[in-house]
Amino acid sequence: EPEVTQTPSHQVTQMGQEVILRCVPISNHLYFYWYRQILGQKVEFLVSFYNNEISEKSEIFDDQFSVERPDGSNFTLKIRSTKLEDSAMYFCASSATGPYGYTFGSGTRLTVV
Amino acid sequence: SQQGEEDPQALSIQEGENATMNCSYKTSINNLQWYRQNSGRGLVHLILIRSNEREKHSGRLRVTLDTSKKSSSLLITASRAADTASYFCATDAGNTDKLIFGTGTRLQVFP
């Protein structure tokens, strides 16, 4: 069964450093998303991406965050200068049909120290 | 409460028993989905129910939706230890394609 692949599975970074979280969506999907889940809390929407541009972003997705689809297969989330409160599990998802058929990746656990 | 509040927050049952989890939401929806998350792992899609549906089954899962009460329930019948996980409801948000997740129910099934 096709799956969304995220790397790395766990990343530890120092506060103030830049991190790039990588995702390989399902190949024929057109909609891409990032969500995050702070430990013990609910899953929160960060950003959606369609047709090579951001279609929606949450208030969490401030200027420190950016997304890119640098080639035909990868979808990345960059956090420019990490803060302690960025520590969370970050999930990538892709869909062929918008909100009706999401497939989530297994997540990247980001720990900012 | 926020969109997608679930109760109970935690549920412990014995294998073979049924587990019922509830989700309430505040705004109109097009569909409601249920996801499962094993501890520290990814989200697995379980079932989607559209706003014009009242009940849906998938294996041991039964989902109901009451749009007049803005609530949904997930029933897992004949639970197994392997069903131990957190379960989240998620709703669409009107004309956008983002999902709004509930707070989740942590289910523990004891063998």
pLDDT value at B102 more than 60 = yes
Which of B24, B25, B34, B43 is best to mutate for the A interface (most A CBs within 10 A)? Answer: B43
Q: Is B104 exposed, middle or buried (0-12, 13-18, 19+ CB in 10 A)?
A: buried
Q: What is the average per-residue pLDDT within A60-79?
A: 93
Q: B23-38: string of b/e by CB count within 10 Å (b at 16+)?
A: bbbeeebebbbbbbbe
CA distance B30 to chain A (A): 10
Instruction: State residue B2's pLDDT score.
Output: 43
**Is the model's pLDDT at B1 over the cut of 50?**
no
Q: What does the DSSP 8-state code read for residue A59?
A: T
Residue among B102, B80, B83, B110 at smallest CA distance from B7: B102
Please judge whether A104 and B96 are an interchain contact, meaning their C-beta atoms are less than 8 angstroms apart.
no
Q: Of A18, A3, A4, which Cα lies nearest the Cα of A110?
A: A18
**Region B52-78 average pLDDT:** 96
Contact B102/A at CB under 8 A: yes
- Looking at residue B3, its pLDDT comes to 59
Say whether residue A63 is in contact with chain B using an 8 A CB cutoff: no
